[in-house]
Amino acid sequence: MNNSTNDNSSTNGSGVSGYESLDGKVVLVTGAGGGIGRSIAERFSSVGAKLVINDVSADSVDDVVQSIGAAGGTAMGAVADVSSSEAVGVMIDAVMAEHGRIDVVVNNAGLVSPMLHFFEADEAWWRRIIDVNLTGHFIVSHPAARIMAKQGGGVIINMSSGGATRAHRAFTAYDATKGGIEALTRAMALDLGPYNIRVNALMPGSIDTSGLGLDDRKLRGENVPLGRIGEPIDMTGAALFLASDDASYITGDVIRIDGGMLAQQRSATVDIKPPSDFPSVEDL
């Protein structure tokens, strides 16, 4: 566990303000070593929240913690695999020892690769993606929700995908987890509502988390109604909203941040593995 604290300011230099209800709240973001998770963590820090940065990569965790601290925020690191109950238990204990509460959980950790056609897949591949993407949401949320219930309430934000309701080629396990996450979100919202715990999900569209080249960005963005591929920062406003008092009567819902992708009849350019790359019958 690594800590970095700077009390000079409740902003990170981005100029973002507002969301006073999140000032001082303890926010755990899983998979926050890069991409969407990192952007969400940095945006929460910009409004004065105290961040817990989780990832399986210690180097990535350290980098984000130091970056938030240098920008005037407060963050602690928590290296853990969210599919491990033991590792998550150690992480939750460390957060409670440091802060004594957990106000918001953003279940962002997830695996996309390896991308395999259904015939190329095996049980080990299936189980690993299910364990991290879907079971990980439960493993993190279960102890956190108990803490929230005892302190009078909290917010859990899960991470879905367009694959929850539309399919990608060669993403069988991934899409199955995302459909499960939306069902899990609704079920959790019903069970946890009486304890003043709100549970919602974000549904990213085509978000560039890996630094695509200009040609790939143009290809991915040309069929998106807003005319461009998404950036991790595009996910952060909805996350802040759902965690804030402005969303105090919203639970069990999914917010799409996809540039209009699912509003149209034609498909956006998101499939990476075309049928021409599928296994031949002779190879089965």
Pairing of strands 104-107, 26-29: parallel
Within 10 Å of residue 181's Cβ, how many Cβ atoms? 25
Say which DSSP state 221 is in. H
Q: Which residues contact 279 (CB under 8 A, 6 or more apart)?
A: 117, 119, 120
- Exactly one of 19, 174, 195, 249 is catalytic; name it: 174
CA 142, distance to chain mean position in Å, is 16
Contact 243, 155 (CB under 8 A): yes
Distance CA 218, CA 40 (A): 25
Which uninterrupted H or E stretch holds 254? Answer: strand 254-257
Q: 62: helix, coil or strand? A: helix
Distance CA 149, CA 154 (A): 7
- HSE value, Cβ hemisphere, 13 Å, CA-based, for 103: 17
Distance CA 247, CA 240 (A): 9
- Strand runs labelled E in 48-177: 50-55, 74-79, 104-107, 154-159
Let me know if 19 is a catalytic residue: no
Distance CA 222, CA 248 (A): 36
Which residues are part of the catalytic machinery?
174
